Chain A
Amino acid sequence: MKVDRSLLDELGERISRARLYLDPVTIFFLSFPTFTFILFLITPLIGMLGIAFVYKGAPSLEWFIRIFTSEYYINLQGRGEPWYYDEKFNMLVITGSDYGVILNSLIVASIVTIVTTIWGIILAILFSRYSFRGKDFLRILSMVPLLLSPFVNALVIKKMFNPYNGFINWLLHDTLGILPFRLYIDGLAGIALTQIITYYPIVALNILSSMLNIDSTLEEQGVNMGAEGFTLLRKITIPLSYPGIMSGATLVFIFSLEDLTAPIVFHGHPLAKKLISFQIYTKFISETGLRSPEIAALAVFLLFIALTFFILIRNYVSLRSYASIPRGRMLRKLNRLGVKGYLVVYTVIFPILLFTSFPQIGVVLLAFSTRWVNTVFPEGYTLANVIEVFSNPDVFKYLRNSVMYASLALLFIFILALSAAYVTNRLRFRGVSSIDLLSTSPIALPGIVIAISYFYFYATLFRDTILDPTNVLFFNPLPVLIIGYSIRRLPFALRAIYAGIQQVHVNLEEASLNMGAGRFHTIKKILLPLVSPNVLSGLLISFIYVVGEVSISIIIGILNMDYAPLTVYMRDVMLSAVGSQYIAAALGFILMSMQLTVIIIITLVFKQRYAYIGI
């Protein structure tokens, strides 16, 4: 008992000590994100564990054993050739082999990660260490795949590799004759290719920012010691960029695992269905309303992998933040590209970058075409599709819903991001770091897992209310979507606001407190005006990614079509040929235009860098 007593005393003293540094505002800032994450992130996920680990009313690993022993999920032999040559059609068919759902997902994710990382390192070195004509253009080109066009960009990639009238075969086989055969990429290979094209800028940007942050004197010292060229890269530059490489690679690995859009677009090929994310999704929609432990077990497995990687990489990166002291940092002297260099850049790198921007270009073409089915290029061009988005109330409602949700979510995101960014920057208590961990984790949590855990969570805790997704007649997804969107897209705003607060010296706030102003007044008059560019940029980025959100939208938002968001319409087009791909593309075009506008506002008006998120 004595021990307990002294422990209690110590705890009491700690709390009373901490309270000295707190006031109503900081208490709110601490508790608001804490309660939000506990209620709307941790509880739903734990609820899902409760389903996955229970068999016949008792705790059990039964569902996991079923998954891991089934050949459907894990098949070490592998079925089917990954590629073969079809003589009759003079066609090289690449689809990948079937190693079972779980291994397929891990293999695709690994291939995507390895390819994007190598390509990302090459681009980052080129952009951070060399100067050459056309560099700005190539950099912008390498960012094009970041333009959000869920589903439709994958559709365009599928079109491009159509063996008969796809652009790639038309160009490389029919016209230029470089390829001696036609190329047909589908199934798992098609998904991997789509993900590589879509995700490589994330790795490249993470590595690039790492490389740009290396103090140039560190490399000059290396040169001074006699390291040059490739040795310098291998010994100094790349090791110093590990934090960027690792976090970029981890993000892409997780994004690939959880991606739903590419499998949905390629689902016509049987192999494309055999991925974890797609399995969770199809099993879920075919069993809506039922609590399926098998789905929960698969989701828990996916969550486990994502969380493990996320936590490992966070520790790794924080251990290895090679922060050099930035004392009047000198501008780095860039190497000039020689003739050979120009040759490589413009005959290899430029064509690849151009190729990776085709999906976005294709979406724009599709949005403005009259018909584009059996031809290499659209048969004709029209404004009708874009006009129809706004004039047809059955289509416009999706856009309107999405913009409304995103606007409402922004208010929530603002308070959540400001609170979390403020306490993690300004308060030095034990436990503050867990707010940091929780508020950044949504970037790495699979959307499909959050979406399904939400479904169970609301169906259980809010049974027979308008928040119950199984309540077919009265379900109103608005609050569920707004909370879900806010948590999933919080990291974008959080990161921007966090960086802003970090740049405001704490003395500026202390001077205000010292002058007699309270915390609220200090934040309103001193902090917020100083970080307003960061706040606005962060919120704008979050806005775009809320509008483009897929997982929660197509699982929760689909349950009452009057309230459905824009990505639901896109999904319907891909999955069941309801609606028109031209209008889906028009929606994609509108989304990309909004994103471009936001980027322009952020860079020109707020003078901020538009950065994709890392860990």
Chain B
Amino acid sequence: MVSVGIFNITKRFGDVIALDNVSLDIGDGELFTLLGPSGCGKTTLLRIIAGLEFPDSGKIVFGDRDVTYLKASRRNTAMVFQNYALWPHMTVYENVAFGLEIRKYPKDEIRRRVHDILRLVKLEGMEKRFPGQLSGGQQQRVALARALVVEPDVLLLDEPLSNLDAKLRVEMREEVRRIQRETGITTIYVTHDQEEALTISDRIAVMNKGRVQQVGTPIEIYRSPKNEFVATFIGKSTILRGVLKKIVDGYGVVDIGGFEVLGRLESRFRVGDKVTVIFRPEDCRVGEIDGYNKLEGIIESIMFIGSYFHIRLNVNGKDILILADVDGDFKEGMPLKFSIDPDEVMIISSKD
């Protein structure tokens, strides 16, 4: 198990820049997630770490070993592919044993290890089945077992749960988390599913258009998105643009046009700067509550999302999304008062 250093990796495919000067530092034993929309470069980065692609420039380091140009077969990483890539002509046992046979382990040792790992992923008794005879979740576990059994330095998971149905996905991601904790293998996890990333990761790198937008713990990423992309990609947010009118003690008042919002300043600003205001629906409280940021709008649409309503309000011509309890009595066209805690309102630069 090692730490993984990624230094200034750039990769082009023809005219397309897949990765643009990406640097990351992944700790030993960490479960690190690359999160971003499709085409953001996250899978390319994972394949570069695995040695299945080579960067145009930059460096990949495992521990203190430079592996940038090392062949895939010499890296001792283990990858779980999005489509599992289980060899259809081999049984579960043969699939899992493959890596050990390549490493020339004695037969007994191979049998013992395969048995142990299949127990870890809860697939005992399935040794003689072929991949085609397994369910999606079971195939997923075989792929995981095949990767884990070789005790890789780094475990690479490429959207491993995206082919499973919603319920199984939740089950499996807890499973992945448990196994990662038990084995302590440095793990790099690629996903486009923000909920998945938030629930299982130690740290997350949010990527877009080949660049890292923000690196942080799930809470940091959620609570303090560094820019508009991160704020909109992770969770739902209301985004408003305005001009900074006043600065008081790290807080600022922003003129949105017709109303004002008080919020936390995320960086240094001067009065008159153009800024972006971001807050989350769940931080808006319905009703007349004392404090700052008391606003009123007309209900445009109501969406039932399970335990809450998502209500879209028109506040002086601006769209604002709030969360409301289902016991309230709401109708489209009705006026609604609400307030936002200034500590939950982020003011960031409009340039990003």
Contacts and interface: CB of A to CB of B under 8 A. Distances in A.
Interface of A: 17, 20-21, 23, 505, 507-508, 510-518, 521, 525-526, 529-530
Given A510-B85, A516-B150, 5 more contacts: A17-B56, A507-B82, A507-B85, A515-B99, A515-B102
Contact of B85 (A20, A505, A525, A529): A505
Contacts of A515: 73, 78, 98-99, 102, 146, 150
Contacts of B56: 17
A286 B71 CA distance: 60
A510 B72 contact: yes
Interface residues of B, number: 29
B52 A510 contact: yes
A521 B50 CA distance: 19
Interface in B79-131: 79, 81-83, 85-89, 98-99, 102-103
B85 A516 contact: no
A413 to B, nearest CB: 24
Nearest to A23: B71
Contacts of A530: 87-89
B54 A516 contact: no
Nearest to B143: A511
B113 to A, nearest CB: 14
Contacts of A517: 73, 98, 102
Nearest to B156: A514
Given A514-B52, A521-B102, A507 B81 contact: yes
Nearest to A532: B89
A517 B146 CA distance: 14
Nearest to B95: A511
A505 B87 CA distance: 10
A514 B79 contact: yes
A21 B85 contact: no
B146 A513 contact: no
A221 to B, nearest CB: 27
Nearest to A514: B79
Contacts of B150: 515-516
Nearest to B99: A515
Given A513-B52, A515-B146, A516-B103, A508 B87 contact: yes
Given A17-B54, A20-B54, A514 B87 contact: no
A516 B101 CA distance: 10
Contacts, number: 67
B54 A21 contact: yes
Given A516-B150, A517-B73, A521-B102, A511 B85 contact: yes
Contacts of B83: 505, 507
B53 to A, nearest CB: 9
B69 interface: yes
Chain B residues touching A, majority SS: loop
B79 A20 contact: no
B102 A529 contact: no
Chain A residues touching B, majority SS: helix
A545 B72 CA distance: 41
A508 B82 CA distance: 11
22 contacts: A17-B54, A20-B69, A21-B54, A508-B87, A510-B72, A511-B85, A513-B51, A513-B52, A514-B79, A515-B78, A515-B146, A515-B150, A516-B76, A516-B102, A516-B103, A516-B150, A517-B73, A517-B102, A521-B102, A525-B98, A529-B89, A530-B87
A387 to B, nearest CB: 45
Contact of A510 (B74, B79, B99, B146): B79
The 4 A-B pairs with the shortest beta carbon distances in the complex, nearest first, are A507-B85, A515-B99, A511-B85, A513-B72
B77 interface: yes
A17 B74 CA distance: 18
A510 B89 contact: no
A518 B86 CA distance: 17
Contact of B77 (A20, A514, A525): A514
Contacts of B102: 515-517, 521
Given A516-B76, A517-B98, A511 B71 contact: no
Contacts of B146: 511, 515
Contacts of A513: 51-52, 71-73
B54 A511 contact: no
Contacts of A511: 79, 81, 85-87, 146
A235 B71 CA distance: 52
Contacts of B72: 510, 513-514
A20 B87 CA distance: 26
Contacts of A20: 54, 69
- Indicate the member of A20, A511, A525, A529 with the most B CB atoms within 10 Å: A511
Given A507-B83, A518-B73, A512 B98 contact: yes
A23 B51 CA distance: 14
Nearest to B47: A510
A521 B82 CA distance: 23
Interface in B44-82: 50-52, 54, 56, 69, 71-79, 81-82
A350 to B, nearest CB: 42
A516 B73 contact: yes
Given A521-B102, A530-B89, A510 B73 contact: no
